[in-house]
Structure 1
């Protein structure tokens, strides 16, 4: 079979203290397979172990405190049971030769009392303009409570504690989630952050919370174990930034001297001028999630866009949905083998093994 493995994608890379065998990263993917209390399950250990050939696995979003929970069956990382559950997963992945970071995500206004038992919190009391999935069906979003400065500082401390828990659970590091319309992104965006104090208004003020979280997490576990995820101009969860071209270079510049493991940008086009500005602002590793081939089943198209992103300045390539349906994605992309089709979308979030750990791997392929 003709190989597609050309260029830099399948060459080794270094990320902090980690030596990666190639540049393909499994992006974090919420799958709703944790127990109701947020404890990771043995089913999750099977799922991640199946994908241990990724250069790095960034495990799905885990909440740093109870009020940060978004949807049902989301894993946490703020209780001893959570740490023990995640430890079983990291051990399974390490046994398969893999490496893992854990994404830390606070939902902010993307939450509901039916899910967490608590009123969601946010930079400003502006409700999500969508319904929320709960165990009782879709519910209207509630108006979140505006975080006080003291509560902001407690949230920063919760992120640092969650990072320490992640390392105790066997993760090589953590990814701070400042993307996709969740709490940190809500502070960045002008339509969800109407504050008039030091955390609102100017770009310098709106990036302050993300910078403080990253700094606290880096102080807790070491900067070279910390990544940051961003999603410039992503309107998901009702976000409107308004000044994307200024916002993200400012954030990258503010954190450029911290010695972080990486900056991870979502749905990135190699021709986007913002990618070049981020590359110029960011001295460390840059992970890019492709904008155009995310749902493709064509291995040549995926590899081609990945190589274009590497040529445009990225160091690593994060793929999400392709890893979801192909536990042996690295092997398929190397060989040019066709990819599995993703099952119906309802199976992504319903729990259980179907559409989760039952995607087939390739039979042996001659070298």
Structure 2
């Protein structure tokens, strides 16, 4: 019977425990999407976690619309990631780079270009820009040639990640971003080879997976999904056939791991009454399965012990608890920062590598 604290491999990546750092956008990079020095400490402080999944990292300029988010499309960015991955490795940790294209969920004030998506749809509501928020814009529907170029950019970004010292990559195919937009009924209105049928809607994710596994090997490749309910305006009326088809392809490509953000009827981040698909992934996917969404320590231990997942990822609790593994082992209550949310996406060390003012503990 496996334990949450036992070693596990994700393809070629050997992790010392089954706790995973979920990708957390923290916005401590430069406007040019270059990682900064304070990120070295942030990631190294969490190296006791079995596998670190980096914050989402843009594959090109048009892909990255989060103010002060990171990129991996040029040499300056690659060089800036190197001391971060080195620091994690020196502390015995493993880290993969989450590759991100936000699709329509960007604003031209940040990217400098019109948002891109499967079809000419619009993100629901406002988007983050420098200094605040702005109303979303209608997306440019990608041409087939533009799609092929983006697939190439994914492969280049994966190779750049390995050059930067990452142990592998995770493809971000969740949370209402570009790949998810191609899967969605509400966002993919195309009538060409990328729209309409199940086969066509899954074409982009399969092409990206194929390009990346060819570029760096399937043993260093993972992918993330959020298959339940509506996510940032992207909805799939009947997700099970879509994801079973994708799983079959992932198995053919020998992809090492899948991260799954499950639905939760009470969550503020992924509220849905739609049935979870974790059991379907567990039944059909041949690689490692990482589950995520508001797991408690006890739920995580039970889920792994019962064999329903290979690992559990934690996001928000790790912000104030870089030592979450030791606290879970010893059953020590986690620290809570009272005004944590205020400091998620602003520059500086406060709320990042040091507690915010008036931080509280339990």
- Could you state the TM-score of these two structures normalised by the residue count of structure 2? 0.92
| 1:172-195 alpha-carbon deviations (Å, 9 max, x no partner) | 100000000000000111100001
Q: RMSD between aligned alpha carbons?
A: 1.7
Residues 306 and 194 of structure 1: CA distance in aligned 2, closer, same or farther (over 3 Å): farther
Partner in structure 2 of residue 358 of structure 1: 354
* Secondary structure at the counterpart of residue 213 of structure 2: helix
Match status 1:349 vs 2:345: yes
| Equivalent residue for 1:87, pick from 77, 82, 95 | 82
| Equivalent residue for 2:35, pick from 37, 40, 55 | 40
Give the Cα–Cα distance (whole angstroms) in 2 for the partners of residues 275 and 267 of structure 1.
Answer: 7
Partner in structure 2 of residue 235 of structure 1: 230
Give the Cα–Cα distance (whole angstroms) in 2 for the partners of residues 310 and 85 of structure 1.
Answer: 39
* Secondary structure at the counterpart of residue 236 of structure 1: coil
| 1:78-100 alpha-carbon deviations (Å, 9 max, x no partner) | 01110011111001111111110
Match status 1:315 vs 2:318: no
* Secondary structure at the counterpart of residue 218 of structure 1: helix
Which structure 2 residue ranges, 5 or more long, are not aligned? Answer: 265-273, 357-362
* Secondary structure at the counterpart of residue 62 of structure 2: helix
Kept after mapping to 2: 8 A contact 1:263/1:285:
yes
Partner in structure 2 of residue 285 of structure 1: 288
Partner in structure 2 of residue 363 of structure 1: none
Equivalences, count: 346
Give the Cα–Cα distance (whole angstroms) in 2 for the partners of residues 97 and 273 of structure 1.
Answer: 34
| 1:46-98 alpha-carbon deviations (Å, 9 max, x no partner) | 10011000101010110001100121101000011100111110011111111
| Equivalent residue for 1:276, pick from 276, 279, 301 | 279
Kept after mapping to 1: 8 A contact 2:62/2:115:
yes
Partner in structure 2 of residue 201 of structure 1: 196
- Could you state the TM-score of these two structures normalised by the residue count of structure 1? 0.91
- Aligned pairs for 1:240-251 within 5 A: 240-251=235-246
Match status 1:177 vs 2:180: no
Kept after mapping to 2: 8 A contact 1:11/1:21:
yes
Match status 1:114 vs 2:109: yes
Give the Cα–Cα distance (whole angstroms) in 2 for the partners of residues 215 and 221 of structure 1.
Answer: 10
- Aligned pairs for 1:125-140 within 5 A: 125-140=120-135
Residues 115 and 326 of structure 1: CA distance in aligned 2, closer, same or farther (over 3 Å): same
Kept after mapping to 1: 8 A contact 2:28/2:347:
yes
* Secondary structure at the counterpart of residue 277 of structure 2: helix
Residues 340 and 79 of structure 1: CA distance in aligned 2, closer, same or farther (over 3 Å): same
Kept after mapping to 1: 8 A contact 2:193/2:200:
yes
Q: Please report how far the alpha carbon of residue 19 of structure 1 lies from its aligned counterpart in structure 2 after TM superposition.
A: 1.9
Partner in structure 1 of residue 182 of structure 2: 187
